[in-house]
C-alpha cells in the first residue's frame, strides 16, 4: 500500500514532460507525501484542473496505493 518517491516522480514526469517535480516523504512511511509540480501544461488552468492532471498521471493510485499526497501545482513564472 505504499509507493516510492521515484515511482511517483516517474509517473508525473511521464505525463508532464519537462515538469519540475519535488517530492517530500512527510512521515518517512512511504505513504504520506507532499509534492510540488511546476509545469508549462498548467498554464491557464484552474487549480482543480491542475490537480486533476496530476491525479490522472498517477493512474488511479491516488486515494488507493497512495493515501496522502499534498499537492501544490503551478505554471513556471
Partner 1 sequence: MTDPVHAAIQDQIDTTPVMLYMKGTAMFPQCGFSARVVQILNHLNVPFRTANVLEDDSLRDGIKSFSNWPTIPQLYVKGEFIGGCDIVTEMFQSGELETLFAEKGVAKPATA
Whether the CB-CB separation of 69 and 4 falls below 8 Å is answered with no
Quote the least distance from Cβ 4 to partner 1, whole Å: 19
Other CB atoms closer than 10 Å to residue 57's CB: what's the count?
Answer: 20
Applying CB under 8 A, the residues found at the interface with partner 1 are 47-48, 51-52, 55, 60, 62-64, 68, 70-72
What are the distances in angstroms from CA 10 to CA 44, 46, 77?
Answer: 24, 24, 23
Cell numbers representing residue 45 in the block: 488552468
Q: Which residue lies nearer to partner 1 by CB, 43 or 59?
A: 59
Q: Which residue lies nearer to partner 1 by CB, 1 or 48?
A: 48
Quote the least distance from Cβ 57 to partner 1, whole Å: 12
Quote the least distance from Cβ 70 to partner 1, whole Å: 5
Cell 508549462 sits at which residue? 40
Amino acid at each position: 500500500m505504499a509507493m516510492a518517491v521515484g515511482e511517483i516522480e516517474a509517473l508525473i514526469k511521464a505525463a508532464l514532460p519537462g515538469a519540475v517535480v519535488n517530492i517530500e516523504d512527510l512521515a518517512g512511511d512511504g505513504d504520506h507525501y507532499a509534492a510540488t509540480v511546476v509545469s508549462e501544461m498548467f498554464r491557464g488552468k484552474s487549480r482543480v484542473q491542475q490537480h486533476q492532471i496530476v491525479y490522472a498521471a498517477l493512474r488511479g493510485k491516488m486515494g488507493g496505493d497512495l493515501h496522502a499526497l499534498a499537492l501544490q501545482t503551478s505554471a513556471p513564472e
